[in-house]
Structure 1
Amino acid sequence: MAYLKPPWFVRNVVNRIAMATGAGRSQTLTVTRRGSGQAQQIPVVVPVIDGVKYLVSTRGESDWVRNVRAQPRVRLGSDDYVAAEVPVPQRGPVIAAYRPLAGKVVEGYFRDLPDDADHPVFALTPA
């Protein structure tokens, strides 16, 4: 699976600002790193469909995606969830709901990774 690595400035400045301010409708996702067991925090935009919250990886198979696959217990803001990966054929409606929420900033990622299979999606169930 493909991965679009974010530039240093995005990882170290933009993401921190987004998590601190909620910019761009972002929320802070906390996952457990699969190697060290330490917390990893990522700003995410969370679509809600029929009462279910979803995580969408715009950049493909990122570290947070691999971490969630290894340890599906995650925290979104102050709430705990269990993440379950959505099969590729069922991702389309979630991605369609996600794109307008996230805005133009993600359009390049979907242009560079056009297949739904390149964008892991996880449904969140309260823990």
Structure 2
Amino acid sequence: MADGPQTQDVHYRRPGWFTRNVLNRAISALARRGWSFWGSRVLETRGRRTGEPRRTPVNVLELDGRTYLVAARGTTEWVRNVRADDGRLALLLGRHRKTYRAHELGPSEQVPVLRAYLKRWKAEVGAFFDGVGPDSTDAELAAVAHRHPAFRLEPASGVARD
């Protein structure tokens, strides 16, 4: 699953109370009802300790005919769950469920993905990138890439679970 580095400088910015208890819940509730804001979905992973489904709202990036997820806050619980479950995940919107296999990108592969992600969602996530934005140089984006895991998603309908 992981094509890129996993253990460099582990970085994570925990969301505040308002984000966890109000924004994330509202976005998740709307996505469960089939409403998406700028590509939002509910990401479902298998908990690495319990095996139980874990859900969190995410922004899904479509770029050049491919689908990507970026962990703007860093090595989040969902990132750890995806890595532990060999890249298996599902994206939910209303009653629609699509299963994927995630392939982690290396820093050089991340540059165009991070640029497109920041171009679309900088107002929402820009604070997590320490001054790096969509107009930053490739070198500046590459320098922060290891702090923001990114995954290319490949459709995996029927991905078997243990």
Give the TM-score, by structure 2 length: 0.73
Q: Could you tell me how far apart the structure 1 residues matched to 2:42 and 2:26 are?
A: 11
Alpha carbons 1:18, 1:24 under 8 Å: kept: no
**C-alpha displacement at 1:42, in angstroms?**
1.2
Aligned equivalents of 1:17, 1:48: Cα separation in 2: 23
Residue in 2 that maps onto 1:122: 151
Q: Secondary structure at the match of 2:27?
A: helix
Q: Which deviates the most, 103-112 or 41-50?
A: 103-112
Q: 1:73-123, CA deviations, whole angstroms, 9 ceiling, x for partnerless residues?
A: 100121000111011121010011111222402110011787111000011
The corresponding residue for 2:77 is 63
Q: Tell me how far 1:8 sits from its aligned partner.
A: 2.1
Q: Percent identity?
A: 38
Contact 1:86–1:120 (8 Å) recurs in 2: yes
Unaligned runs of 5+ in 2: 1-9, 31-35, 133-142, 157-162
* 1:35 counterpart residue number: 49
Whole-Å separation in 2 of the counterparts to 1:63 and 1:51? 27
Query: Aligned to 1:12, which of 1, 12, 21?
Result: 21
Q: How far 1:36 moved relative to its partner? A: 0.6
Matched-pair contact (CA < 8 Å) for 1:32–1:40: yes
Which residue of structure 2 aligns with residue 109 of structure 1?
128
**Cα distance in 1 for residues equivalent to 2:122 and 2:75:** 21
Q: Which protein shows a greater Rg?
A: 2
More helix by share: 1
Task: Report which stretch shifted further, 98-107 or 47-56.
Answer: 98-107
Aligned residue for 1:53?
67
Q: CA RMSD in A?
A: 1.7
Give the gaps of 5 or more residues in structure 1: none
Task: Give the TM-score, by structure 1 length.
Answer: 0.92
CA contact (8 A) 2:44 2:56 kept: yes
Q: How many residues align?
A: 127
| 1:56–1:120 CA contact under 8 A, matched in 2 | yes
In 2 relative to 1, CA 5–112 (structure 1 residues): closer, same or farther, beyond 3 Å?
farther
